[in-house]
Structure 1
Amino acid sequence: MNLLKRIFNRKIVISVFLLLIIGGFLFYKSLKPTYNGELDLKGISESVTVYFDEVGVPHINANNNIDAYTALGYVHAQDRLWQMELIRRIASGRLAEVFGKDMVRVDKFFSGLGIEEAGAKNIERANKSSESYKMALAYLNGINQFIENGPTPIEFYLVGVDKEEYTLKDIYNVFGYMAFSFAVAHRTDPMLTEVKEKLGENYLQELIGAEYSNLTLIKNQQNPELKADFAGAINDIMDKLPVSPFIGSNSWVIGGQKTKTGKVLFANDPHIGYSQPSVWYQSHIKTPSYEMYGFNLALTPFPLLGHNREYAYGMTMFENDDVDFYIEENSEKDDMYYKTKEGLKKYNLIDKRIKIKNEPDTTYQIKVSQHGPIMNGLIEHLEDSRPIAMQWIYTKIENDLLEASYRLSHSKSLSQFKEGAAMLHAPGLNVMYGDSKNNIAWFASGKLYKYRDSLYTKVFLDGASGKDEIIEYLDFKENPQAINPDWNYVYSANNQPDTIAGILYPGYYLPEDRARRIENLLDAKDDFSKEDVAKMIYDVTSVTAPEIIKSWLAHVDKSNLTPSEAKAMNILKEWDGYFGKDEIGPVLYNRMWYEFAKNTFKDEMGKAFNLFMNTPFEEKVVAAHVKREESVWWDDVKTTDKKETKKDIIIKSYKNAIAFLQNQLGENVDDWKWKRVASVEHEHAIGKAGGVLREIFNVGPFETVGGDQVINNHIYKIDSTGYYKTHAGPSTRRVIDFSDIENSITVIPTGQSGNVLSPYYKDQAEKYLNGAFVKMKLNQEEIESSKSVLIFKPN
């Protein structure tokens, strides 16, 4: 009897174990995206066929645009719902609901920017009968049907958050986050104000003078369209974000006069923070009236990058200054009022509530002046007793990014496309264009404006007197732009545009490094092929690094060096700026850069040095300062026995750099290879927890070629650690050839799907690292040979 009981109990245990395995397997399979079969879909009038190609890109074939966008919403959600969930929570301040109290400061900052309030105004004034509005609702309908009927992504189970329906408000929150894009103004302006107020005008003038030295300017020229044959704390906040911020970018469009085939070649690689999933979702929509192979952000129905047989378009960040800070002056009697030129005005108060996972809610109140929200308390490093208001063009003036993105992706001519580009008020974008007629164009899009002469806007402005207000908004025709220029190409590398409206327009433009390299390569040939452009977009040579090294080493006496220091000096002298894995030059150069910047500026700047470093402003200042013989910054104010010179700073920096590298990488200089200190890892929000979750959800780490401010831009922090973990870079590389449009190519950093169970989760990672590409299919016969076919039927 006991034997029978033991056998019976053993069978029960085995059966339960088998049921758990079977149940787990079925649950696992149920979480995968659906790439084959038939599904019912409400809101479509006819069946929609979706062909998934070998990298998971959906090719959506529908008989009308509403059906196509409904299907797009569904397939986008099944691959990227978790990404959608995170990005919609940023602007509304709802990350702490998911990740707990560590995200409260992030939520407080973003919810205080006024993005939600601006979005509500845009929705209220939207044209409800417009095609953009109707297609956006169809796209949301598809997303919400996936939420209702599709499997729940595993991340929702892991963090314990429920799915919620999506609305137009969520789309506009994404646009607002994209418009915020990068926080340079929030780091640079307080730092420069502190330099001015604590160190004085001499120190400030040397810094700001660097903005107008070492410039490679994007040239303006407008010609007719061709008609023939139309076919600190901010660092911490940004580091904690689970969705990538926009940073920089390259793009160039080569006219037929400079290509082997006589047709336009188009290239674009927007630089965005790395994350997993990667930022862009690709799709190809084809209906009787419309076709576009596009790249969409999460929760955006219309692609910001795209092409078809007629035209191609893309973008880089303009980097214009569209954020200004004002010192408000409160009334002596009542701090609910502040002074203006017209008299006292009352602050508007906005109450905010932040929900926190496993904690009570927290509430706070924002004061809003005529300029914008008071940022004291929202920006932790803003240590100022005066109320500081942030004025941001995105929230200040009407700005309909939904309609603008619709027009860019649905244009029928260059003229129509230009109208769409003119609608982009914020963020500032360099919008690039090329078409089958051999038109090429670049438009610096953004609402530009002028202040009184000589006002420097990167320090805090006077909010009370009325003297520091915007006096004029510029018409779009005055924006920097080039249409079919005589030099037969257009490009942008986030560098300073040439003079417009009589001024070099202020901004946070990146240094000239990439711009000079692009110009040098484009000027050198008149017979470019697709293969040439593909090689160029992967280029990792700096033209400016060898020049900076030469300026440094001119002050180093080799006779006073140790053998290791002398050997390193020889390597630096011979280095051509190539950031390859086995190169020693990049290791020496980056460490020397850090030591030089620290020894020059940190003694005076103090804590502000951390705001200064790793900004476009710092990169330009250091490059200019290398060439400056006399400077108030050379003297180390912490030493009293001597006044340091440029030579003293350079020698100290060089010796410190070599000593650090000997300690970090060993005595043998030949072992100081770039691959030992440079790496890239694409972090998932769940994978950031480390351990087994990192192994499952993150992609990488990998050794990598590339460096900061080369064309194949790998963006990392140069700091005391001596390691360079790439946190941003090309979010996609695209090369579009109008002589062979069906064989245009692209690659993204990891994969098309954000679902860890999808075969397309990281299948492009190795290709991306090695400079390889995949085809962007337009040939219908080739598309229909896909093995994965999903049919949506009307319900």
Structure 2
Amino acid sequence: MKRVLTLLAALLAALIVGAGWYVYSKQPSRQGLVQLQHLEGSVTVRYDERGVPHIRAESELDLYRTLGYVQAQDRLFQMEAMRRLSRGELAEVLGPKLLDTDKLFRSLRIRERADSYVAALDKQSPAWKALQAYLDGINQYQDTHAAPVEFDVLGIRKRPFTAQDSVSVAGYMAYSFAAAFRTEPVMTYVRDQLGHDYLNIFDLDWQPKGVLAHQHTPNAPSLSASDWQDLNAIARLSEQALADNGLPQFEGSNAWVIAGNHTKSGKPLLAGDPHIRFSTPAVWYEAELSAPGLELYGHHQALVPFAFLGHNLDFGWSLTMFQNDDLDLIAEKVNPDNPNQVWYRDKWVDLVTTEQQIAVKGQAPVNFTLRQSPHGPIINDVLGANAGKTPIAMWWAFLDTQNPILEGFYQLNRADTLAKARAASAKVQAPGLNIVWANAKGDIGWWAAAQLPKRPAGVKPGFILDGSTHQADKEGFYPFSANPQEENPARGYIVSANFQPVSPTGMEIPGYYNLADRGQQLNLQLSDKNLKWDIDATQKLQLGTTTGYGPRLLAPLLPVLREAVSDPQELKWVEQLALWKGDYPLESVSATLFNQFLFNLADGALHDELGNSFFDTLLSTRVIDAALPRLAANADSPWWDNRATPVRETRADVVKAAWNASLAHLKSTLGPDASQWQWGKAHTLTHNHPLGTQKPLERIFDVGPFEAPGTHEVPNNLSAKIGPAPWPVTYGPSTRRIIDFADPAHGLTINPVGQSGVPFDPHYADQAEAYVEGIYHQAHFSEEEVTANTRSTLKLLPARGVQ
């Protein structure tokens, strides 16, 4: 027995040692000497207390090669997952459940665009050489180190990263901005199947004939029931592809810059927090770069060497999403005598067909046929044999513009004047971005960066367009000077919060913009002429959790509720809502009650007309936010009537039913004691990893949950989809940055999770609690502070020999 126990103990010890060695073999190495091929000289990388690398090199190419190497140490699986998603290669490692996602991204033609984009690049440009050095650093790390644990779990084979991968990831970023996939099918359905009176709440211009109505022109297509199923399936697949893979999706953002005459320091103050779907690891990788001609503290994305956010002692910038509509869905009319032809510019034109093969884990490869009309790729081919009879094409600016975005950000990383920043912004054509910029000399500026298409007069691209007419044609692009922009405005500040911007020419810019509430909240405080702004006041503004949305929506419904509710305790809750200011701290009960009521109100009013699928799709769009207050204020809206009943319901009927359903759901979910219906208990943040969808792997890879303040469309925009409690937060500030250019060496930042994407690394989740509590960390910039805060040093030497 003693021998058996001894043997078992030895085996257990061996397993523990083996597991420990396995985990250790996957960890980043942040100290010691490393030989790296193609270096021109030695490079020093000092890691601070948050695991942020501070890279010192004697040449730009050495700097970018080292950045690629150290970023790969921390984020190699993120790089792999991003390129596979964007290029339609997830099924190869995740199996057949990802086949439809792969088909969708193949249909977007990102792969083909990446090939043509790279082929056209100037191979002698500094930006190209920097990209190649960066990718070389990534590949050298991958070739000489153990694969990440995710590679082992999923059976991923190592393969080199290429410039085409980098461009493909940029394509994914552009696609994730494109709300048209989720919005245009449901808006067209409301218009063409329900009618004008139902469209009113969405505040969209009505076209009485409808661009898809068959009477519009003899050649126009009409959509069948199967076509509507197609459109909704595409919308759902698009949302699911972005939401279910634990990868970042771009949603919104705040950024503002305040001129020196409105700050305590007398210098500009820059703040920004791009809103992106939460994931593990987080989207941004922080690094300080130093080489002759470049000093920058930047926030980088996977496979892109140039910082998308950054600052130094002289200038800095942040980003928000422009949210211009740069993607049109187009219904094609098919030749009844030839299913491979569509009507285009008054004649039948052949569709272009290509074949692709998708590798699928555990089964034979799947052949996939891609078709393309003169308007663009046919996207509903992703549905295969279940597709309806009407081909739906996609025109997308990412596929149809030169879009020198890499060159643009290379230049923006060095843009210390208004003129340089403006010129760099003009090179960002898709996706649309607002670039909010300042320098230490006192200049501030904002440029809405995108190449805006000229659509025919009267065309409303918020609906599916008719490919048999000229509505889907593009008449070129507007010049950059027509884009919304400001430089040193007299008001002394600029705020960008995804609301509808204004062009200098006064032209309309179609888009899927957010509510004005968040921007109005920021503008109200920034416009206070009696306030001189500093870091502390800016932090409070950035962490604000109040919006006028809830009180605005409730105002016309409170009299209805008071009439419908008779229970004394319930009347107290109604009056609490009447006094509620629309704030979302952790302890608020009114916030919980309102959000549950909001869902039940939408469900009671809209669900019967739209059905399960279109209703769920609508809840994922931005247009629902503007629609619900208009619905609440209109007692005569046809949405109040339930089509499934013989009687005609009124607003009062739906409001009463929604109230009762809300209380019943909260009692069953959060308990009968209403004092326990606190916002923080119902509204939580978990940072999901792609492998966290497989239990029990979420215990290893996911981070959270944390009680989360804030909500949708407040400055601290920790957002959850409209739905029943509890509410898992899906997106929010992907970082919070504040830079006072009187002391830019002490800028503030925070990572929502941690710098590293390697499980069991000390920096995997070491910032998660601080983030949700609204704590900031200092970004070390000066030589003295970098030295003082160095925790380890990695030195990279040319491979020709270690000195």
Place the TM-score, normalised by the shorter chain, in its bin: over 0.9
Q: Which residue of 1 aligns with 2:63?
A: 68
Does 2:411 correspond to 1:407? yes
Q: Is the 8 A contact 2:177 2:321 kept in 1?
A: no
Q: Is the 8 A contact 2:485 2:504 kept in 1?
A: no
Q: Is the 8 A contact 1:48 1:61 kept in 2?
A: yes
Greater Cα offset, 631-640 or 116-125: 631-640
Pick the aligned partner of 1:344 from 331, 348, 352: 348
Greater Cα offset, 333-342 or 83-92: 333-342
Greater Cα offset, 361-370 or 377-386: 377-386
In the TM superposition, what is the alpha-carbon distance from 1:732 to its structure 2 partner? 0.3
Does 2:636 correspond to 1:630? yes
Pick the aligned partner of 1:507 from 500, 508, 511: 511
Counterpart residue type for residue 88 of structure 1 = R
**For residues 364 and 88 of structure 1, do their structure 2 counterparts lie closer, same or farther at Cα, with a shift above 3 Å needed?**
same
Helix, strand or coil: the match of 1:710?
coil
Q: Which residue of 1 aligns with 2:293?
A: 289
Q: Is the 8 A contact 1:267 1:533 kept in 2?
A: yes
Greater Cα offset, 653-662 or 102-111: 653-662
Greater Cα offset, 599-608 or 533-542: 599-608
Helix, strand or coil: the match of 2:276?
strand
Q: How does 1:67-466 map to 2 (within 5 A)?
A: 67-209=62-204, 232-378=236-382, 384-466=388-470
**For residues 342 and 578 of structure 1, do their structure 2 counterparts lie closer, same or farther at Cα, with a shift above 3 Å needed?**
same
In the TM superposition, what is the alpha-carbon distance from 1:205 to its structure 2 partner? 4.1
Q: Which residue of 2 aligns with 1:547?
A: 552
Q: Which residue of 2 aligns with 1:220?
A: none
In the TM superposition, what is the alpha-carbon distance from 1:237 to its structure 2 partner? 2.3
Helix, strand or coil: the match of 2:243?
helix
Q: How does 1:693-732 map to 2 (within 5 A)?
A: 693-719=697-723, 721-732=724-735
In the TM superposition, what is the alpha-carbon distance from 1:571 to its structure 2 partner? 1.4
**For residues 12 and 668 of structure 1, do their structure 2 counterparts lie closer, same or farther at Cα, with a shift above 3 Å needed?**
closer
Deviations 1:313-349 (A, max 9, x none): 1111111101111111122221112111152221111
Does 2:767 correspond to 1:772? no
In the TM superposition, what is the alpha-carbon distance from 1:17 to its structure 2 partner? 5.7
Q: Is the 8 A contact 2:201 2:628 kept in 1?
A: no
Does 2:669 correspond to 1:664? yes
In the TM superposition, what is the alpha-carbon distance from 1:708 to its structure 2 partner? 1.2
Distance 2:443 2:486 in 1: 11
Does 2:575 correspond to 1:580? no
Greater Cα offset, 493-502 or 745-754: 493-502
Deviations 1:570-590 (A, max 9, x none): 211121111111101111111
Q: Is the 8 A contact 1:31 1:757 kept in 2?
A: no
In the TM superposition, what is the alpha-carbon distance from 1:741 to its structure 2 partner? 1.0
In the TM superposition, what is the alpha-carbon distance from 1:710 to its structure 2 partner? 0.8
Distance 2:564 2:35 in 1: 79
Q: Is the 8 A contact 1:315 1:432 kept in 2?
A: yes
In the TM superposition, what is the alpha-carbon distance from 1:623 to its structure 2 partner? 2.1
**For residues 28 and 597 of structure 1, do their structure 2 counterparts lie closer, same or farther at Cα, with a shift above 3 Å needed?**
closer
Helix, strand or coil: the match of 1:718?
coil
Distance 1:458 1:768 in 2: 37
Distance 1:340 1:559 in 2: 56
Distance 1:531 1:382 in 2: 57
Q: Which residue of 2 aligns with 1:489?
A: 493
Deviations 1:464-490 (A, max 9, x none): 222442234110000011111111111
Helix, strand or coil: the match of 1:784?
helix
Q: Which residue of 2 aligns with 1:51?
A: 46
In the TM superposition, what is the alpha-carbon distance from 1:728 to its structure 2 partner? 0.9
In the TM superposition, what is the alpha-carbon distance from 1:401 to its structure 2 partner? 1.9
Counterpart residue type for residue 623 of structure 1 = P
Q: Which residue of 2 aligns with 1:218?
A: none
Deviations 1:186-229 (A, max 9, x none): 12111111122211233234433499xxxxxxxxxxxxxxxxxx
Distance 2:205 2:649 in 1: 21
Counterpart residue type for residue 716 of structure 2 = N
In the TM superposition, what is the alpha-carbon distance from 1:379 to its structure 2 partner? 6.2
Helix, strand or coil: the match of 1:490?
strand
Q: How does 1:558-569 map to 2 (within 5 A)?
A: 558=563, 560-569=565-574
In the TM superposition, what is the alpha-carbon distance from 1:19 to its structure 2 partner? 5.0
Distance 1:178 1:586 in 2: 32
**For residues 781 and 666 of structure 1, do their structure 2 counterparts lie closer, same or farther at Cα, with a shift above 3 Å needed?**
closer
**For residues 529 and 379 of structure 1, do their structure 2 counterparts lie closer, same or farther at Cα, with a shift above 3 Å needed?**
farther
Deviations 1:484-503 (A, max 9, x none): 11111111111111255433
Distance 2:400 2:357 in 1: 23
Give unpaired runs (5+ residues) of structure 2. 207-235
Helix, strand or coil: the match of 1:449?
coil
Helix, strand or coil: the match of 2:140?
helix
Pick the aligned partner of 1:470 from 474, 496, 505: 474
Helix, strand or coil: the match of 2:80?
helix
Helix, strand or coil: the match of 1:278?
coil
Q: Is the 8 A contact 1:233 1:380 kept in 2?
A: no
Q: Is the 8 A contact 1:586 1:674 kept in 2?
A: yes
Q: Which residue of 2 aligns with 1:616?
A: 622
**For residues 447 and 12 of structure 1, do their structure 2 counterparts lie closer, same or farther at Cα, with a shift above 3 Å needed?**
same
TM-score by length of 2: 0.92
TM-score by length of 1: 0.93
Pick the aligned partner of 1:745 from 721, 744, 748: 748
In the TM superposition, what is the alpha-carbon distance from 1:621 to its structure 2 partner? 1.0
Helix, strand or coil: the match of 2:251?
strand
Counterpart residue type for residue 616 of structure 1 = R
Deviations 1:275-333 (A, max 9, x none): 10011000000012111110011111101000011111111111110111111112222
In the TM superposition, what is the alpha-carbon distance from 1:10 to its structure 2 partner? 8.3
Greater Cα offset, 433-442 or 445-454: 445-454
Distance 2:62 2:522 in 1: 42
Deviations 1:21-41 (A, max 9, x none): 444433332221011111001
Question: What's the RMSD between the two structures over aligned residues?
Answer: 2.1
Helix, strand or coil: the match of 1:336?
strand
Counterpart residue type for residue 28 of structure 1 = V
Distance 2:26 2:564 in 1: 67
In the TM superposition, what is the alpha-carbon distance from 1:560 to its structure 2 partner? 4.2
Deviations 1:135-188 (A, max 9, x none): 000001100110111232111112221211111111011100011124521121
In the TM superposition, what is the alpha-carbon distance from 1:559 to its structure 2 partner? 7.4
Distance 1:158 1:436 in 2: 49
Distance 1:352 1:617 in 2: 36
Identity over aligned pairs, percent? 34
Q: Is the 8 A contact 2:182 2:620 kept in 1?
A: no
Q: Which residue of 1 aligns with 2:227?
A: none
Counterpart residue type for residue 535 of structure 1 = K
Deviations 1:54-98 (A, max 9, x none): 101100001110001111000000000010010010121111111
Deviations 1:566-620 (A, max 9, x none): 1210211121111111101111111111122122222222242121113111111
Helix, strand or coil: the match of 1:757?
coil
In the TM superposition, what is the alpha-carbon distance from 1:367 to its structure 2 partner? 0.7
Q: Is the 8 A contact 2:426 2:449 kept in 1?
A: yes
Helix, strand or coil: the match of 1:755?
coil
Q: Is the 8 A contact 1:422 1:476 kept in 2?
A: yes
Q: Is the 8 A contact 2:371 2:381 kept in 1?
A: no
Distance 1:732 1:43 in 2: 34
